[in-house]
Chain A
């Protein structure tokens, strides 16, 4: 460390929060400029270049500059289409959709249904992840089973759920077609692997000796989990839950086959309403109205999801980026 250029003077003097705001504002201005001149490619170069420069100014080591630059190539690949999509939106159309009660119901269901699926995935998946982290004979079979839903094509997944559960399948007394139960089952099917795998990674990262210490001091396995392992793995569980939630929000194929429209309790109306899951609704809006209208609804869905991600990450990130080890 002593041989690296010491550039921390800048950071210590100015403080990081204003820097973050300034950086984002600069990006926004640069994008707006590039878009107005019809040259989004400039912005791609700008994003990569500004990231490299910022990394150099804030840190100075060639390693950090390299990782930041390479990483920014990915953020260009992810961000540029998203920013262009946002720039293309028609503000009056977005406002019209934002005040449409039907769209509110769809957005509510689009957040609430996946939340149920994520909670179910975690409730059942965390115990499984813990067991997988401990290890047991025949483990590869269970691991493969858990990973399998990731590769199943989505509409096939929907058919699998219909045939597996519900009237023709394992639980004929329940109907899954067009019900909230069916929708949550379909969402859990496709998103549980994320919950299990992310949580398992965090269990495996915990030093075994901490568990041994707890046991030696007299705690049984339940108490060890509750007081030691569980809290240490909490961030992994949150990541798993967020991934599962996000995967369920974007699920189209399986939900379209199992629960094309569902009725659910909607607090603002104080009763049952019927709506479609957001991706299904966006697609139907596209078929009926065209790209502009469906784009407006998709924009609202993305905005709501982005806010949720920001809140969750802000609450659960540790603060090493802004105040930890140099």
Chain B
């Protein structure tokens, strides 16, 4: 098999992929080259620039399903999930008061600035807006806050970047008071964070929650996005130069070792990884051995 391999992946996958890289290189004797440019940019590199990668990992499997298949790939796997959370500094305004039970009240105070990334170019961005929307939707007869609170949340929100990886620096600089991004980032950054309610954090891949999440809708310049549980997608594109290596990488994250790396970086792995039943024939054997073919993941159609 090839001596080197290339991986394009989302920013939020950089911590687990970076941690797994040395052990993987040692075990399989291959040189891994990662390019962490964001989910959309990584996908565009393959579909627009004609570049080849052996693995593509994105934070929303629908990017692979809609843009990579069928011209640049035949299958994908859902290997991990995540949840939305709120990160802040210890000296953020309201930091002493804020908790899981009153975060919307603190975030809607005057002079509080909430930051999230651009929904038009980053899945993390539209998911942050969905989290805000879901707080005003009833789940089992109860909702967290009313429409005017939601409007106040939107009024306090700004979009200071197109990549969520910039948000942490902007928060630290004092220009943002609270940021909304993935819990995998907030739980591992060393700063205080809020673990949000399941009905707003997009973490539960069950039919009941997914129906609730679908009440959120975000309109952007690049289309309208409907709320859904966060499901990361990964694949070996058809343009890969070292597809065998790509399959090895994906197989790794379906094993205990890979799953513990994901968990240590704040992600929530899927066990076993899920591949769409319609593309089952195209899945490499070593991946199929550790995967389960389904036509849907809870409510999400594959």
Contact = CB atoms under 8 A, between A and B. Distances in A.
A169 B169 CA distance: 13
Q: Is the interface of B mostly helix, strand, loop or mixed?
A: loop
A257 B169 contact: yes
A286 interface: yes
Given A167-B174, A168-B173, A291 B118 contact: no
A163 B49 CA distance: 35
A52 interface: no
Given A256-B162, A260-B159, A260-B162, A159 B173 contact: yes
Interface in A158-189: 159, 162-163, 166-169, 172, 175-178
B161 A168 contact: no
Interface in B208-235: 221-222
Contacts of B47: 290
A288 B78 CA distance: 23
A234 B44 CA distance: 46
B166 interface: yes
Contacts of A155: 166
A175 B77 CA distance: 44
B121 A162 contact: no
Given A178-B160, A288-B222, A162 B118 contact: no
A50 to B, nearest CB: 33
Contacts of B13: none
A284 interface: yes
Interface in B130-144: none
A251 B218 CA distance: 30
Interface string A283-304: 1101111110000000000000
Given A257-B170, A287-B41, A162 B161 contact: no
Interface in B118-163: 118, 120-121, 158-162
Interface of B: 40-41, 44, 47-49, 118, 120-121, 158-162, 166, 169-170, 172-176, 221-222
8 contacts: A163-B172, A166-B174, A169-B174, A256-B162, A284-B121, A287-B40, A287-B41, A290-B47
